[in-house]
Structure 1
Amino acid sequence: MRGAGVRTVRGWVRDTAGGLPRTFWYLWTGTLINRLGSFVLVFLAIYLTQERGFDELAAGLVLGLWGVGGTVGTTLGGTLADRWGRRPTLLTAHLGAAGMMLVLGFAQQLWAVAGGALLLGLFAEAARPAFGAMMIDVVPERDRLRAFSLNYWAINLGFACAAILAGLAAEASYLLLFVIDAATTLATAVIIFVKVTETRAPARAVVLPAGAARPRGALRTILGDRIYLGFVALNLLGALVFLQHISMLPIAMGDDGLSPSTYGVVIALNGVLIVAGQLFVPRLIRGRSRSHVLALAAVVMGVGFGLTAFADAAWFYALTVLVWTLGEMLNSPSNSTLIAELSPADLRGRYQGVFSLSWQVAGASAPIAGGLVRQQAGNAALWLGCAAVGVVVAVAHLASGPARERRAAALRRPAGPAPAQRGPLTSAAR
């Protein structure tokens, strides 16, 4: 019996983590180290309001500027990942983020804090599309669901540890949060520099038939892709709800007399649950309709945030976190694999950048919108509104899912041989 159990565990480990490329594991390690020190964004709202004495609107504006910087960063990072390369984009973004983390930690005046947040958002988020494109480059399609799940598991393992440690560190010194975050970001850059090589395929020359139209540029291609943009818009709506756990949730808990360390423990439950269960999710959802999974995830997340309207104690806040985390666990791997399948190979960086842009737009607007709703309509209206948005997103996923799957199937089909005709020579990617 014992031997059979060991074989079962070994088989599960092999099915979950076996056979993935070495480059993936270097990226995975960098992600884990970086997230172990990801203190600042989690506690920035508390730092601004309790340590620096800014009001809720000022704190929301600073967090919003972080999102604005991220909006520029993801757009620029996606373009650079396709044109300059994944590796140099990642290195530049991580080095810049480490430097700006220290600048933000030492900034005193509101204008300096706001400027530091803007530039930090730019550098930190410029890495996201390059990282996503590199993951798609190195991991075969059949392994992407478990690869993205493993990476998400690493993110949340680091986050679970960071949230608890950050709560303790914040009580000693808020500056320590910025220093540790900068150090782990720099460590990730070192891993990429030493171990990771460029994965971007060289641009191919394409011979067009005589009289054929030139291919559209990248921007026109993306703007004309209504199916992909619709998917991005749904992610934006979901992100507006999800990001309230960074901006308005710590403020709501503070109003109920709960300390920053209590918030750290409560929010760490998000990472703990994902660490405990995320690796089982691929097997649970494999073969199921992604549209149905995404719709269910939106409803569960909406319910979790909606319950926050009634929370008034640490245990109740913890319950709401556990509920919306279940939705997050269903949403993440389905989202990641769908993005990969909807992205043309020569535009992966820019498609990743556009998707990341939805997170940055949400990052810029969620704290401002949340702060305004909370001030004007009250705490309950904010969280019940989050529940309503979750239902809307779920219905939209069910309606748009079939068209997305048809597009993904079309992109998976190999292209036929190019006609052997002479014509003008043009680059495949612009």
Structure 2
Amino acid sequence: MTEIDESTGIWRTIREAPTPVKALLVGVFVNKLGWFLQVFLVLFLTTSKGFTPVQAGTALGVYGAGSVIGLIIGGSLSDRVGPRAAVMISMFGMAGFVLAIAYVPSYAAIVVVVALAGAVGQFYRPASAALLTELTPKNRQVMIFAVYRLAMNLGTTAAPLIGAALVAVSWNLLFIGEAAAALAYAAVAIVALPKREKPAAAETSAEEVAAEPKGSYLAVLRDHKYVLFLICMFLNAAIYMQYLAVLPLHMNADGFSTWWYSAMVALNGFIVITCELLVTKYVQHKAARTIAMTGFVLLGGGLAFYALPGGLAIFVIGTLLWTLAEIIAGPTMFAYPGMAARKPLLGRYVGSAHAMFGLGSALGPFLGVWVWNSVGTQVWLWCGVLGAVGLVLAYFGMAPAPEPIDETTPVLEGGQHA
């Protein structure tokens, strides 16, 4: 039986985390409690503004595209001005743009503001992840990212209920509520997050300056192993999103009501919220590559399981399998960019990973529905094939670096690049 390192336990990790880390966890939870725009945008534009469903869907797509761009910009911004400033810029900007959506007069103006809200509102994510990486000991990084994911999931789960209550009073109150949540996170950043320290010129040798990676995403792309990991993130998201895109179509075609589909989604959410930290306690010190490969086996296999005949039991078992993939591999996959990054490019490494996951989340539903309309349930077999591709990419892209590892560094750090 594997001995558990108590120094990386759940409560000890939280209790001994630096104050800025605790502030980030609280800040992102509060911010996600006000995560209303993406959930209610289509309803707002159709019921309150009188636009067509096509126009509303287009605006939502523009929001998603803006979010991907914002993740890329956010990584660069974090490297240039520091995580604290990036979070503040993101939250103040988001508050302003969200409020503007309720008052701009035309559809074209709404689309522009929605795009800006989607972009600016994502600046904080690479910055927050970079700061978690910088301030957390290496042997606790996977656990702290699991806690971070829990804070996001709890806030995201509660947000639609809060938003529905606000909409019952006024649509304007919904936007005021999201702006208030963003300002609350900005206040946390001002009070609790550390300012960026600029080293004195005398402390940095000419050789060190020359050796530093230059401030460009091209420097990230020259890390060829990391590029393979970025493709892994894209595939992971594209496959994962089929539970929102194709699964309801499949269950409906098999004669199951919307209630049964909702039960599958609720089953996933319940297991992730209640079990991810406990599972992370056991897997956090395994090699990152091993955990990612295990995740792809369970994710691709779980979705491919839906292709089997057998009724409701098949849907339940398949959902349990890919949910297990999420709770085993999720924290490691999102902690890995900080392990692989060269410090001057930490924000860009993190931002590129989040952007690829966001791109997969945006394109995955469209591609999945297209394949479903073409070949029906065989779409799940293609998910299995893509899971196998992700496994191979993880094997080569997250291979341990050749240089020796310090004895105090956990096995998980084996995935770190030079």
Matches within 5 A, 1:90-101: 90-101=87-98
Q: How does 1:160-179 map to 2 (within 5 A)?
A: 160-163=157-160, 178-179=175-176
Letter paired with 1:300: L
> Aligned in 2, Cα 1:286/1:131: closer, same or farther, shift over 3 Å?
closer
Letter in 2 for 1:390: G
CA distance in 2, matches of 1:46, 1:310: 36
1:384, distance to aligned residue in structure 2 (A): 3.9
Aligned twin of 1:188: 185
Distance 1:200 1:32, change over 3 A: farther
Aligned residue identity for 1:184: A
Task: Name the residue aligned to 1:158.
Answer: 155
Superposition map of 1:403-422 within 5 A? 405-406=400-401
Deviations 1:328-351 (A, max 9, x none): 111222113321111112221122
Aligned counterpart for 1:272 among listed residues 246, 270, 273:
270
Quote the RMSD (CA, aligned, Å).
Answer: 4.2
Tell me the amino acid that sits aligned with residue 115 of structure 1: V
Question: Aligned equivalents of 1:26 and 1:94: distance in 2?
Answer: 15
Give the match for residue 289 of structure 1. Answer: 287
Query: Is the contact between residue 311 and residue 317 of structure 1 (CA under 8 Å) also seen in structure 2?
Result: no
SS in 1 for 2:53: coil
Match of 1:132 in 2: 129
Q: How far did residue 24 of structure 1 move?
A: 0.6
Q: Percent identity?
A: 25
Q: Note if 1:394 corresponds to 2:391.
A: yes
Residue 231 of structure 1 deviates from its aligned partner by 0.8
3-state secondary structure, aligned to 1:288: coil
- In the TM superposition, residue 159 of structure 1 has moved relative to its aligned partner by 2.6
Q: TM-score, normalised by structure 1?
A: 0.76
Deviations 1:17-66 (CA, angstroms, capped at 9, x unpaired): 231111111110011112223244356578789996525xx676544423
Give matches, 1:12-411, under 5 Å: 14-42=11-39, 53-55=52-54, 61-104=58-101, 111-112=108-109, 114-163=111-160, 178-199=175-196, 202=199, 206-208=204-206, 216-219=213-216, 220-245=218-243, 267-306=265-304, 321-374=319-372, 376-377=373-374, 380-402=377-399, 405-406=400-401
Quick one: distance in 2 between partners of 1:157 and 1:262?
A: 22
- Length-normalised TM-score, structure 2: 0.78
1:61·1:368 contact (CA, 8 Å) conserved in 2?
Answer: no
Write the letter of the residue equivalent to 1:192. Answer: A
CA separation of 1:384 and 1:62: change in aligned 2, threshold 3 A? farther
1:409 CA drift (Å)? 5.7
User: Does the Cα contact within 8 Å between 1:301 and 1:324 map onto a contact in 2?
Assistant: yes
Q: Is the 8 A contact 1:95 1:189 kept in 2?
A: yes
Greater shift after overlay, 59-68 or 9-18? Answer: 9-18
**Greater Cα shift, 295-304 or 306-315:** 306-315
Q: How many residues align?
A: 399
Distance 1:136 1:96 in 2: 25
Higher relative contact order (CA 8 A, sep 6+): 1
Q: Judging changes above 3 Å, is the alpha-carbon distance between structure 1 residues 83 and 289 closer, same or farther for their aligned structure 2 residues? A: closer
Kindly tell me: are residues 169 and 125 of structure 1, through their superposed partners in 2, closer, same or farther at Cα, counting changes over 3 Å?
Answer: same
Q: Structure 1 residues 141 and 413, CA, compared in 2 at 3 Å: closer, same or farther?
A: closer
Deviates more, 1:62-71 or 1:117-126: 62-71
Distance in 1, matches of 2:330 and 2:63, equals 22
Deviates more, 1:134-143 or 1:229-238: 134-143
Shift of 1:107: 7.0
**Structure 1: gaps (5+ residues):** 1-8, 415-430
